[in-house]
Amino acid sequence: MTRLFGTNGIRGIVGKDMTADLAVGVGRAIGTFFGRGVVALARDTRLSGPMLARATAAGLMAVGCDIVDLGVVPTPAAQYYVAKLGGLKGAVVITASHNPREFNGIKAIDAGGMEMRREDEEAIEAIFFERRARPAEWSAVGDLRSDPSAIDRYMRGIVARVDADAIRKRALTVVVDPGNGAGCVVTPYLLSSLGCRVISLHGQGDGAFPGRNPEPVAENLSDLLRIVPEAHADLGVAHDGDADRAIFVDEAGDFVYGDKSLALLARAALRGRGGTVVTPVSTSRILDDVVREAGGEVVRTKVGAPIVARVMFESGAAFGGEENGGVIFPEHQFCRDGAMAVAKMLELIAHEGKPMSRLVAELPAYHLKKGSVHVPADRRDAVLAAIVRLSADRKVDAIDGIKIHAEDGSVLVRPSGTEPVFRIYAEARTAARAEALAKEGRDLIERALRA
């Protein structure tokens, strides 16, 4: 094993590959990389959070880092704390985000509040695998204190960056489903402070996740989809386990795909000023249409929120995000931010004076067809190379996997970062055409497997 970090930190099943021993070692490696100074520590609601947070903190303190423990907070609240307080070496967040309850993970945040660059992760991995962390002497071991102010700082930062008066005037009813995750400590309170009537669903932090699976996809949100229209609410919102993502449900109880909420929020962000929007190659072309109309430009990246955030930071982009409900508002901070996305969506509804379903219906209509094909991990690179050869006569881009552009749609095939599969994303103006493009992608992978 030469890698620890995946696309979003270190993840594993608790007691198997995510253990106290690993956390101590990773804490030591991250602390050695940071050097002596103050490191913020945060966690989501997972049952193993207290154990892994203390183990990671022990590793950090053993190499001389002082810990400021923020407790259970959304990942973006910890990032905001680091970015705005200044003077910290960074943060470590114990979370497995949207993964099922048996998982947990360790995520490292840099001094600017952003997720680590890949080269920094490699430096931490090298310290870990080469056992280069050296214990501090007795008088230089780090200490630990708590700071309960991260939630309040974060919420005040959000309220200051939206038109709170316009939202309060609308007195919207919102059903909030944080899924028993870290969003429980922020979003219901944030919405109350914005004058909303709030109905909380799965609103107690509980790492057994008794309400639902932490991933905010339609099949996990049946309670929310039912309750929004029953409660005559204006909107429903769901987070993943660490509340860096927000997914919406319209007033009729229809699931709003993340591509669509991203396009709505992009249009609002560009209004009257244009600018660049950064998104991975897998996001729907709805975004391109909307951004073009708003006088802006879309920049595509490889898949992964840390990459999107970094490109936004370096290029001075106006807005960015992913198709899974991860949205980045650079005037607030350079990371995905679930509660900020909710506040901005409320602002949009208040300003436009239209129900969510109307806003969604006014977007360009595309049909999306997703799928996947099993590809053994050891054949991944060869299969990708064969796909490149087989599609040589087509109009393609190769930012991440291969995206084939047709006259009336596109299909992207790319190896998953976490599973032994190639994912297929096809998109076209009609369902039949999207289906045909998805089949083309599937055939291409199968031919490459036989090559």
Phi, psi of 410 (to 5 degrees): -155, 160
Which ranges constitute the DSSP H helices of 316-418?
Answer: 338-352, 356-361, 380-390
Dist CA 146 CA 142 (whole Å) = 14
**For the window 61-100, what string marks contact with Mg ion as x by the rule CB under 5 A?**
------------------------------------x---
Rule CB under 5 A: say whether 215 interacts with Mg ion. no
Closest CB to Mg ion among residues 74, 203: 74
Q: How far is the CB of 214 from Mg ion (least distance, A)?
A: 8
Q: How far is the CB of 219 from Mg ion (least distance, A)?
A: 18
Segments of 7-139 assigned E as strands? 10-13, 38-43, 66-72, 90-94, 103-109
Closest CB to Mg ion among residues 96, 424: 96
- Are 193 and 159 a contacting pair, CB within 8 Å? yes
Dist CA 353 CA 312 (whole Å) = 30
Active site (annotated) includes residue 149: no
SS3 for 397? Answer: strand
Closest CB to Mg ion among residues 97, 410: 97
Binding-site member from 121, 125, 177, 242 for Mg ion (CB under 5 A): 242
List 48, 97, 284, 391, catalytic entry? 97
Dist CA 366 CA 380 (whole Å) = 30
Q: How far is the CB of 292 from Mg ion (least distance, A)?
A: 29
Which ranges constitute the DSSP H helices of 171-257?
Answer: 187-193, 222-230
**Closest chain position to Mg ion (CB):** 97
Instruction: Mark the segment that binds Mg ion (CB under 5 A) among 22-30, 112-120, 237-245, 248-256.
Output: 237-245
Q: How far is the CB of 240 from Mg ion (least distance, A)?
A: 4
Q: How far is the CB of 180 from Mg ion (least distance, A)?
A: 14
Rule CB under 5 A: say whether 322 interacts with Mg ion. no
Identify which of 302, 301, 299 has the alpha carbon closest to the alpha carbon of residue 291: 299
**For the window 243-272, what string marks contact with Mg ion as x by the rule CB under 5 A?**
-x----------------------------
**For the window 347-386, what string marks contact with Mg ion as x by the rule CB under 5 A?**
----------------------------------------
Rule CB under 5 A: say whether 337 interacts with Mg ion. no
- Are 73 and 233 a contacting pair, CB within 8 Å? no
Identify which of 109, 105, 115 has the alpha carbon closest to the alpha carbon of residue 90: 109
Dist CA 287 CA 398 (whole Å) = 19
Residues marked active site are found at: 97
Which residues contact Mg ion (rule: CB under 5 A)?
A: 97, 240, 242, 244
